[in-house]
Amino acid sequence: MGKMAAALGSVATLATEPGEDAFRKLFRFYRQSRPGTADLGGVIDFSAARGSGPVAHKVVRSQLSVSSVSDHDAHRAGLQPVSNWRAYGLEGYPGFIFIPNPFLPGYQWHWVKQCLKLYSQKPNVCNLDKHMTKEDTQDLWEQSKEFLRYKEVNKRRPRSLLEKLRWVTLGYHYNWDSKKYSADHYTPFPSDLAFLSEQVAAACGFQGFQAEAGILNYYRLDSTLGIHVDKSELDHSKPLLSFSFGQSAIFLLGGLKRDEAPTAMFMHSGDIMVMSGFSRLLNHAVPKVLPSSQGESLPCCLETPPPAVLSRDSVVECCSMEDWQVCASYLKTARVNMTVRQVLATDQDFPLEPMEESKRDITTEGFCHLDDEKSHIKRARLNPDS
């Protein structure tokens, strides 16, 4: 009890201490935290009823727009009926919505497979493009699947390309150098992910949401995401959607300035976060990915396979056991996060940019490392059919 009180006391001291380092102090505290100890006693767990932890009193229920998404459309995206979802908010964070795993049993397999096998392919952009040719990164899945399939057999082998993957961009591709999106760097946004995002946005009261850009982050157990604000989209009235799969992580949600101490919460496989309104432009970060307490194993929600036969109009595809074997091997020591955003308001175009701006390199390496603080950008609409 003494150790737990001391740990919680240190968190409370950090959380209430004002000054520009308030967020970073808690970031460092959780980065260095030890799973299975009292270090994580101050982290909210939304998977428990109404959340758990010393700050669980901040957790409130969020109302969803149940009638905005039919049970049929939810099922097409691999989701439970919205009436079955649990949704929470936090006092002091209007517009923040946390939905603990609303996916149907087995349906997370599809989204994991898409992140590893399909979305990582060209013409989408990834961190490996900075130092490799398009031919070298053409099909990361095929180049890596044999390594991953026998991962436990030889732990000393070199990492596969998929294991070196840190980020992939979809739709309007984010330029890490200029911190902008642009009309002339666009590839078609995945239709299945767009449909999933539209259903989740509608359920949260954002009918008409258009999935125009996505950033996928691939975390190893030692990866972190630095303190940042997602502000480069031209239209901040639309929400930022975040989908997590694989190992759990700690997410920190702060204020408009870094002198405001953040609130810590767990993100488990299947969890969805929505940042909208006031919370859309808040500082946030991921200081810690948490290894499974059972060693290299999958979360329980990923152990159930999807149905052998899916509905004809489902956007979710069957995942073969061969493919899942590779995905499962990868996720035993990793997590994947998909963030989806609408860049432009309806009928809005990107502002004209100087010619030299378009020539800047579109990629930089090392997105998921400590203090890699991304900001965001402007853009002009491109007709996908042009």
What is the secondary structure of 4-38 as a DSSP string? HHHHHHHHHHHHH--STTHHHHHHHHHHT--TTSG
Paired with 170 in beta bridges are 214
pLDDT tens string 147-162:
887 766 556 677 889 9
Structural domain includes residue 216: yes
The pLDDT mean for the chain works out to: 85
Cα distance between residue 317 and residue 323, in whole Å: 12
Region 162-190 average pLDDT: 93
Mean pLDDT of 193-212: 97
Q: What CATH number does residue 166 fall under? A: 2.60.120.590
Mean pLDDT: which of 92-96, 175-179, 289-293 is highest?
92-96
Q: What does the pLDDT look like over 308-341, one tens digit per residue?
A: 888 889 999 999 999 999 999 999 999 999 999 9
Binding positions: 228, 230, 284
Q: What is the pLDDT of residue 136?
A: 84
106 and 307 in contact (C-beta within 8 Å)?
yes
Give the pLDDT score at 98: 98
Residue 357, pLDDT score: 47
pLDDT score for 154: 58
Contact call for residues 250 and 40 (beta carbons, < 8 A): yes
Cα separation of 116 and 208, whole Å?
Answer: 28
pLDDT average, residue stretch 162-172: 95
Residue 36 lies in a domain: no
> In angstroms, what is the C-alpha Rg of the chain?
20
Beta strands in the chain (DSSP E): 59-61, 88-90, 96-99, 125-126, 167-171, 213-220, 225-228, 240-246, 249-253, 263-267, 272-275, 284-289, 334-341
For 143, the domain range is 42-341
Sequence ranges of the binding site for Fe cation: 228, 230, 284
In a domain, 314, yes or no: yes
Query: 119-141, pLDDT tens digit by residue?
Result: 999 999 999 998 898 888 888 99
Task: Say what the pLDDT of residue 17 is.
Answer: 55
Dihedral Cα 159, 161, 163, 164, nearest 10 deg: 90
**319 located within any domain:** yes
Q: Does a structural domain hold residue 281?
A: yes
Residue 52, pLDDT score: 59
pLDDT category of residue 97 using cuts at 50, 70 and 90: very high
Does residue 263 lie in a domain region? Answer: yes
pLDDT, residue 178, reads 86
pLDDT value of residue 359: 45
Q: What's the number of domains the chain is made of?
A: 1
DSSP letters spanning 89-131: EETT-TTEEEE---BPTTTHHHHHHIIIIITTSTTSEEGGGGT
pLDDT mean over 276-299: 91
Residue 291 lies in a domain: yes
**Domain-embedded: residue 11:** no
Q: Residue 59 pLDDT > 70, yes or no?
A: yes
